A and B are shown apart, each in its own frame.
Chain A
């Protein structure tokens, strides 16, 4: 039998192989699809990371701005408070100065009262001594002395109340100085019962009497001396009188 081989371009694929290849084709498509999904997911994740980074940056900037603002606010509060405290300090200094001035004025006023009182009491006591033989005058002077003591006592109470009020107003009640109340019963001439102002401020006057001693004998001699009396004393008195 003769065999004739005919030329042809047709590739004859066996059926099994064809099926296999078809399956393979599908698998490749699936792989490609999966790869595309992964690439897409990667891109999504990349975007997501970028977004988160941007969000973080934004929030960081916000936080920094908020911190800066808080810092500025605190600085302003501190500055305001400092200013308030400075004003308060100035105010307190002013009050302190004013109170110190009032205190000095008060002490000065007490010194004047004290001096006036001591002077008057000395005069009255001397007058009582001089009028020792005149009972009615002596009684009148003693009454005057008693009245002066009462006046001083009232003045003391007034001043005490006034001082207490002032000290309460500046919150120094606890530091109220103790003022010795003057005795009103008896006032010896040699040592007045009021507090000597010399204990507060030590001052001297050129004409202050620092000592004295009895020299009645010498004075009597002077009285008997014509040279002194007729030569100096009477001419001086006559000059005053205008004789």
Chain B
């Protein structure tokens, strides 16, 4: 599976996203992505392998989103502190 952190990814439907952060949670890899054309379109997606190809599927489970949101926020804040 490709490591997509800090990458500009292009999906099969033509949409492009910046992968701001990636993290692993319970053996799955999740990405925080930002739409290139619509800046307010931010999502948390899970990386999956289908037919041998990497697919990004939006996470919809509210409990999981809360957990991942917390983890991403901590990671980004930590990184911002280091930059500053």
Please give the residue numbers on chain A whose beta carbons come within 8 Å of chain B beta carbons, in ascending order. Answer: 111, 114-115, 118-123, 125-127, 129-130, 189-190, 192, 194, 196-199, 201, 203-216, 218-220, 222-224, 228-229, 231-234, 236-242
Query: Given A207-B12, A212-B10 in contact, is the A119-B79 Cβ separation under 8 Å?
Result: no
Q: What residues of B have a CB within 8 angstroms of the CB of A118 in the complex?
A: 1, 49, 52
Please classify how large the interface on chain B is, using the bins under 10, 10 to 19, 20 to 34, 35 or more. 35 or more
Query: Given A205-B50, A218-B18, A228-B39 in contact, is the A189-B1 Cβ separation under 8 Å?
Result: yes
Is B18 a contact of A204 with CB atoms below 8 Å?
Answer: no
Is A114 a contact of B52 with CB atoms below 8 Å?
Answer: yes
Please give the residue numbers on chain B whose beta carbons come within 8 Å of chain A beta carbons, in ascending order. Answer: 1-4, 6-13, 18-20, 24, 27-29, 32, 34, 39-40, 42, 44-45, 47-58, 65-66, 68-70, 72-73, 76, 79-80, 83
Query: Given A127-B24, A207-B57 in contact, is the A196-B51 Cβ separation under 8 Å?
Result: yes
Query: Given A130-B24, A233-B76, A241-B69 in contact, is the A115-B49 Cβ separation under 8 Å?
Result: yes
**Total CB contacts across the A-B interface at under 8 A:** 158
Q: What residues of A have a CB within 8 angstroms of the CB of B80 in the complex?
A: 223, 229
Q: What residues of A have a CB within 8 angstroms of the CB of B54 in the complex?
A: 208-209
Most buried by A among B1, B20, B28, B39: B1
Q: What residues of B have a CB within 8 angstroms of the CB of A196 in the complex?
A: 51-53
Query: Given A206-B11, A241-B66, A242-B66 in contact, is the A201-B18 Cβ separation under 8 Å?
Result: no
Is B51 a contact of A203 with CB atoms below 8 Å?
Answer: yes
Q: What residues of A have a CB within 8 angstroms of the CB of B44 in the complex?
A: 240
A-B contact pairs, 28 of them (CB 8 A): A118-B1, A122-B47, A123-B28, A126-B1, A126-B24, A127-B27, A190-B2, A194-B52, A196-B52, A197-B52, A203-B50, A207-B11, A208-B55, A209-B9, A210-B10, A212-B2, A212-B4, A212-B19, A213-B7, A213-B8, A220-B83, A222-B18, A223-B76, A233-B76, A234-B73, A237-B72, A237-B73, A240-B44
